[in-house]
Structures are given as C-alpha cells and as structure tokens.
Amino acid sequence: MDNFHLISNQKLTFKTVFTILKNGYKLKLSEESKAQIIACRNYLDKRIAENDEPIYGINTGFGALYNKSISFEDLGQLQENLVMSHASGTGEEVPSEVVKLMLLLKINSLAYGRSGVQLMTVQRLIDFFNEGIFPVVYQLGSLGASGDLAPLAHMSLPLLGKGEVIYKGEKRPAMEVLQEKGMEPIRLQSKEGLALLNGTQFMSAYGIYSVLKLFRLSDMADIIGALSLDAYDGRIEPFYEGLHTIRHHLGQVQTAQRFRELLDDSEIIKQPKKHVQDPYSFRCIPQVHGASKDAINHVASVLSEEMNAVTDNPTVFPEEDLVISGGNFHGQPLALALDYLAIAAAELGNISERRTYQLIAGKRGLPSFLVANPGLNSGFMIPQYTAASIVSQNKQLCSPASVDSIVSSQGQEDHVSMGANAATKAYKVVMNVGRILAIELFNAAQALEFRRPLKTSSYLEDFLQKYRQRVPFVQQDKIMHDEIEKSIQFLYEVEYELPDALIPGI
C-alpha cells in the first residue's frame, strides 16, 4: 500500500522532505487545501468579471509590458504565451531528484490558496510527482527575480502538453507521456502562468537538496576525520569537553562530543604519544567542522521558511478583497544563504584534503604515500592531487553570486538576486565535498592498516568492515579512479538517518 504525505497548512520540515524522498511517499491534497485553492480561484474569477481595473499579469502584460492591457478573451492565451516565451533555459539538465523537489515545493506553495490557480492545475503537478513524470529543466537562465522564471517555465511546459519529460529514466515528448497516461493538457486560466513561473522553487529545491546532502556529509566528515585522527596517531585532548564549553559555539561542542564518542574505546587513541601537538587539520576539527555545522543549520532555517512560503506574484487575499503586486519572488534571502552554504561546505572539504596530505607525508610511522614499497609503487600520491584540485575548484565556486545584479526587462527589474546561480554553485561545491571526503576515507582506511594489530574503536572498526566490502586494502599500484568512485558510492549508500540534534525546529 502506498504511503502518502498530505499537503496542508502544516509546515513542511527537512525531516518531512527527507522522509518523503527516502520512502518514496506520494502526495495528496487535504480538503482544507482544496477549499483554499477553489475559494481563491472563484474570488479571482469574480473580481475579473466585475471590474475593468488593470491587475498586473492578469489582464496586463508582464515586466516592462505592465502598461499593455489584455482583453478578457485573451487572458488564457496570455498565460500560455508566458510559459512558452519564458522557457528560455539552457545548459545542463537539472537532476530529476531536484526537479522532484521543485514539484513538491510548487505544489506546497500553491496549496495555500494565495495564487489563484485552478484545482486541476495543482492536481496535475501532484500527478507528475506521484507518477514519476519529471519535466526537463535546464540549469541556466534564472536571475533569481522575478523568481526562477526560465526553470519554472520548463517545469510547467508539460502541463500544457509541451516540452519534454523524464519518465522511467527516458527522455520523451511531454504530450506523448500525457496521452499514454490518459491525461489532457491543462488549459491555463488568468493568472495561472504567473503563479507557476513566479517563485523561488528552483533555487529552493537546489538548496534543500544540497542541505540534505550536507547533513549526511557533515556526519561522514566526523566519522572519516576520526578515522584519520587515529590513523595519524593523533591526540584526544583537543576534544576535551571543557575546552569547547568555554567557547560556547553549539556546532563546536557537538563535534567534540561526537569525536569523543566515536573514539571512546579505541586502542590507538589511548596509547602514549611521543608528540605534544597535532597539526591544525586534526587539532582544530571541532572548531572547523562545528562552524560549518552551525552555518548549515542557519541556511536550513532560511530554507525551512522558504519551503512554506507563497512566492508568486501578484498575491491574492480573498478575505480582504485584495490582489497585491509585490516582490515575494525576489531570491535575496536565499542568495545570501546559499553563498554561505557553499563556503561552509567548501571548508569541510578544505580541511579534509589537509588531513589526507598529512596521512601520505611519511610521518608518525606511516610509509610515504601509504604503500609498503614506495618507489616501485606511487601509492596514494595522486588521489591527494585530485582532492587538492577539487578543493581549488571549490574555492573558485565560492565567489559569491549574491553581490551581483544585472538590470533586466527594460529597467523594470533593476535589482535581481542571482540566487539561482548561488544555488547551482552551492550544489556543485557540495557534490565536490563528497568526492574529497571519499578520498580521505580511502587514505584513512589504508593508513589505519599500518597501525595493526592495534584497533580503533568498535564503531569505527565496524564502519571500516563495511567499507572494506567495497574497497580492499591496496597492496600494489592499481587504477585508483575505480577505488575512489566506489568510495564515493559508499558514502551515499551507507545507512544514515537525519539526526534531530542537527536541525532543531527545522
């Protein structure tokens, strides 16, 4: 029997989104949401029929064309023209997982009954979500105000039987799939094109997807960092509880506690040390990982508000007899946060690569490049190069998008957020961090074998055992690409639950 998430006035949370995606939940509209959508549509129809007043985007043109009146007979064609003309995206296709989130967020926003759409339009978006029909959307084209126009236009084209979709892993014409499923194209009414295209669901979807990845990767960074610390024969004293409680930062305190738990019964961590201090990449893990955790949580709190927001324009308030043309589509809150997210993610990768470098440096009783016979074998020399290359790319990607703005629409849209570019850059940084951490894990697992017969903690030994089912110890040189790719897959497939402690209230 299918499990469903009920779309209602109850807030979406990261826990809810994580559960929907992980368990393949389908969506249903609550009776409350249906009533809100219908009431708003009925009000708008009545308002248009009884008044000749210009209402932006409903009986006028768009953007700088706001002063052009549109006849009552052409209101539907106006909206269809809007979707077609704004489908001007290009570049790489958006992953279906992100498009699925776009659909969820758009459905949730429209369900508040502030957008004036038909019930059947929202239901068709739900059908797409439930049936796994994912519109083909392109990464490039949004300025982040008036929302994500081009990407959302591509998301909306299949509602009209236009554009392309991914269905069962195959790209096909949308009309062909609609006919196969017995679905008629939607005939848009007044305001509907605007409701679909105005909004921040493209940048929000990328942001939420990236944050969900980072919740996992920040946890993996702690586990892998603990493995590296033991493999490097590091000291536990920098993780002493009192040291962190006198600085107070929550992420730092949590990280130090996590490392004490991860290494609790390690034979290696408890053995006497010849060295007095460790390099910063080990000694300052709580401060660096912790700062990134705090930043990720802040960005998650911003996205948590956005995933429950109405961000199209104009906004309809039937109970107050108002249709307000405002700027809720402007992506500035997300643009700033997503730039911050990229930086926080990049630092997890930056410090990880430094630990990898320390492990191959021939220190603390470890062989150079982590092979027993260096010279004949290059060993783990070049995986560190790869990690360093990715770290450098991340630094370039962390140049902020939110400080840029280019005037558009003949000056009507004279300040834009560039939040979509911030979102896609952050996504690339996050995916790169997974690769960097996978390389550190590859190195740490190798280095730890040179500490035998001593064992690390029981938790980490169990983690290593699972990893070794995928990636064996390297005796002689081999194609390292293959092992790195298996390490990346392992990070994303190892069992993981979203922890409550990371995301209070979001």
Mean pLDDT of the residues in the chain: 93
- CA neighbours closer than 13 Å in the CB half-sphere of residue 316: 32
The string of pLDDT tens digits covering residues 220-241 is 999 999 999 999 999 999 999 9
What is the C-alpha separation between 113 and 258, in angstroms, rounded? Answer: 44
User: How does residue 22 score in pLDDT terms, banded at 50, 70 and 90?
Assistant: very high
For residues 359 and 447, the answer to whether their CB atoms sit within 8 Å is yes
Does 502 have pLDDT greater than 60? no
Peptide bond into 453 cis (omega under 30): yes
The string of pLDDT tens digits covering residues 154-175 is 999 999 999 999 999 999 999 9
- What's the confidence (pLDDT) of residue 55? 72
Tallying the residues shown for the chain, one arrives at 506
Residue recorded with tokens 């990229």? 342
For residues 170 and 282, the answer to whether their CB atoms sit within 8 Å is no
Query: Domain 206-502 in CATH: superfamily?
Result: Fumarase/aspartase (Central domain) (1.20.200.10)
User: How does residue 505 score in pLDDT terms, banded at 50, 70 and 90?
Assistant: low
User: How does residue 50 score in pLDDT terms, banded at 50, 70 and 90?
Assistant: confident
Does 185 have pLDDT greater than 90? yes
The string of pLDDT tens digits covering residues 74-102 is 777 888 998 999 999 999 999 999 999 99
The topology under which CATH files domain 4-199 is Fumarase C; Chain B, domain 1 (1.10.275)
- What's the confidence (pLDDT) of residue 63? 59
Amino acid at 499: P
The angle that helices 96-110 and 14-23 make with each other, rounded to 10 degrees, is: 130
- What's the confidence (pLDDT) of residue 78? 83
The angle that helices 285-306 and 332-360 make with each other, rounded to 10 degrees, is: 150
pTM: 0.95
The string of pLDDT tens digits covering residues 298-339 is 999 999 999 999 999 899 999 999 999 899 999 999 999 999
Is 56 among the residues known to form the active site?
yes
Domain spans, the chain: 4-199, 206-502
Residue recorded with tokens 């797409």? 128
Q: Which of 56, 167, 206, 209 is catalytic?
A: 56
